[in-house]
Amino acid sequence: MTETEIYDNEKIQKIITLYKKNRARDKAKYDRKKDDPDFMSRNRARAKAHYDANKEIKATKYENNKEYLKNKSLYNYYKSNGRIKEFQEKYPEKCECLSNHGFSVSSGGAIPSA
């Protein structure tokens, strides 16, 4: 099968069915072994190692986006109280910051990517 070959409905349904079967099989396998103490300890060790290895990256990412996250939180507060216009009038610089990050203040959420 080449990359340019178009899949017909039968092939698409077969792919979807195989995917669903594999997901069900993997979930059943996980459900069987998730309560095993050995699995739990290995999984915790893996998760802790990942956390320790990437702690600085997460902190840097938070520091870089701190202003945006605070502005978004404030916007959501005004939005939940139905006061979006007041937010736009009171905090134009925060609206600009949100817009710079791809967040549409006038429509009430993230701008969908094309």
Span of 23-37, 69-83, 94-108 with lowest mean pLDDT: 94-108
Residue 2 lies in a domain: no
Residue 69 lies in a domain: yes
Domain limits for position 86: 36-110
pLDDT over threshold 50, residue 4 = yes
Q: What percent of the chain has pLDDT over 70?
A: 89
* Threshold 0.75, pTM exceeds: no
Residue 18 lies in a domain: no
Residue 11 lies in a domain: no
Residue 100 lies in a domain: yes
Contact by Cβ (8 Å): 76, 105: no
User: Average pLDDT over the chain, rounded to whole?
Assistant: 89
pLDDT range class, residue 79, cuts 50, 70, 90: very high
Residue 5 lies in a domain: no
Which pLDDT belongs to residue 89? 92
- Rounded to whole angstroms, the Cα distance separating 86 from 97 reads 17
User: How many domains are there within the chain?
Assistant: 1
